[in-house]
């Protein structure tokens, strides 16, 4: 009797989750329909965002979302790798726990605190000390000169990416530490026994063994970076422009929603906000889907090699 109820409850819970996801998707699609119907496929490529003439396009927000998230991964992945290897393999035992706890505490800080820190502490420091130096020394370089051009404001796409990197690092690190710890000691000790250096053990034994988990960790971080709202809104500068420089202000999908949803007057305005929400939903879905696909491929491959 209890077993029956228990089975029913678990099934209902699982079904409910699925229903909620479908419900959200449906609500977004219904809300987005008027805008998508009016602007068509051009909605994705248009960089117009004009509440006065009621003409909207999602390109600046999509580009801003992708660039800040990519920048965050670019900075967070090497950082997380260093932290994980240090804590798991290299720290003296007495430092292991404090270092691990410090990283986990970073994950517990609410995102708005990161935003405030970014705006009040990081941005002024960055504008005063780092930005002029970067602009000056990158001038004349082919790509870097363009990326680091612009007035030193401290806020902009670069700051947003950097704050995101700090935010997702503890998530990636936490997962990587778990999966690195799963590597059988026998494997590592055998490698050390053969005279491998720490670097060789990490690169040739630990990483191949944990490939799936490592990618999973990166994807989880990316998922968080794509959707992060408040911290980004504080430091990105909130302008609907696509500019080649990372020091110029931009906007992400979630920052646009946070800024404009409450005051969106007019049906087309509101519908366009729904439409970019739908696009974010789809981007996140594609990222997670791609991660799943990659993981299943890797798993199949490792099974094959194990069989051979």
Cα–Cα distances (Å) from 245 to 103, 146, 207, 289, in that order, read 31, 6, 35, 31
2 contacts other proteins (rule: CB under 8 A): yes
Close Cβ partners of 51 (under 8 Å, ≥ 6 residues apart): 264, 265, 266, 269
Of the candidate residues 28, 61, 88, 154, the single one contacting other proteins (CB under 8 A): 154
Strands (E), the chain: 49-50, 55-56
Q: How many CB atoms lie within 10 A of CB 9?
A: 10
Of the candidate residues 221, 237, 277, 291, the single one contacting other proteins (CB under 8 A): 237
Contact string 189-228 vs other proteins (x = CB under 8 A)? ----------------------------------------
155 contacts other proteins (rule: CB under 8 A): yes
Task: Identify the DSSP state of 264.
Answer: -
Q: Binding segment for other proteins among 10-18, 104-112, 175-183, 234-242 (CB under 8 A)?
A: 234-242
Of the candidate residues 138, 259, 284, 302, the single one contacting other proteins (CB under 8 A): 259
13 contacts other proteins (rule: CB under 8 A): no
- Chain residues 31-90 in contact with other proteins, contact rule CB under 8 A: 48-53
Q: Is residue 264 within 8 Å of 27, Cβ to Cβ?
A: no
- Chain residues 100-119 in contact with other proteins, contact rule CB under 8 A: 119
Please report, in angstroms and rounded to a whole number, the separation of the first and last CA atoms in the chain. 48
Nearer to other proteins, 176 or 247 (CB): 247
Torsion of CA 117, 119, 120, 124, to 10 degrees: 120
Closest CA to 115 of 267, 238, 288, 272: 238
Q: Give the separation between CA 297 and CA 308, rounded to whole angstroms.
A: 17
Of the candidate residues 8, 120, 141, 285, the single one contacting other proteins (CB under 8 A): 120
For the CB of residue 89, give the shortest distance to other proteins in the complex, in Å: 42
Show the tokens assigned to 275.
């439409």
Show the tokens assigned to 163.
């704050």
Q: Binding segment for other proteins among 11-19, 35-43, 230-238, 280-288 (CB under 8 A)?
A: 230-238
Contact string 261-300 vs other proteins (x = CB under 8 A)? -xxxx-----------------------------------
Binding site for other proteins (CB under 8 A): 1-2, 5, 48-53, 119-120, 123-124, 127, 151, 153-156, 233-234, 237-240, 249, 251, 255, 258-260, 262-265
């Amino acid at each position: 009797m209890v077993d029956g109820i228990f089975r029913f409850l678990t099934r209902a819970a699982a079904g409910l989750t699925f229903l909620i996801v479908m419900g959200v998707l449906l609500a977004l699609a219904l809300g987005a329909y008027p805008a998508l119907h009016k602007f068509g496929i051009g909605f994705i490529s248009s960089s117009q965002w004009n509440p006065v003439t009621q003409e909207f396009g999602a390109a600046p927000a999509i580009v801003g979302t992708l660039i800040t998230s990519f920048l965050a991964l670019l900075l967070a992945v090497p950082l997380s790798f260093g932290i994980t290897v240090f804590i798991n393999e290299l720290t003296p035992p007495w430092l292991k726990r404090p270092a691990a706890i410090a990283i986990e505490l970073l994950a517990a800080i609410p995102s708005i605190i990161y935003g405030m820190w970014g705006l009040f502490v990081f941005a002024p420091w960055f504008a005063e000390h780092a930005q002029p130096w970067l602009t000056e020394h990158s001038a004349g370089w082919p790509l870097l000169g363009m990326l680091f051009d612009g007035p030193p404001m401290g806020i902009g796409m670069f700051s947003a990416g950097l704050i995101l990197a700090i935010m997702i690092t503890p998530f990636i690190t936490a997962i990587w530490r778990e999966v690195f710890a799963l590597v059988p000691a026998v494997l590592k000790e055998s490698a050390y026994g053969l005279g491998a250096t720490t670097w060789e053990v990490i690169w040739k034994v630990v990483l191949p063994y944990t490939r799936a988990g490592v990618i999973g960790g990166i994807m989880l971080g990316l998922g968080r970076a794509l959707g992060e709202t408040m911290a980004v809104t504080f430091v990105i500068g909130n302008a609907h422009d696509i500019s080649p420089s990372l020091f110029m202000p931009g906007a992400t999908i979630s920052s646009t929603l946070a800024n404009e949803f409450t005051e969106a007057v007019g049906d087309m305005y509101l519908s366009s906000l729904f439409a970019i929400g739908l696009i974010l939903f789809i981007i996140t879905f594609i990222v997670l889907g791609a991660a799943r696909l990659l993981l299943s491929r890797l798993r199949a491959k490792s099974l094959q090699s194990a069989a051979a």
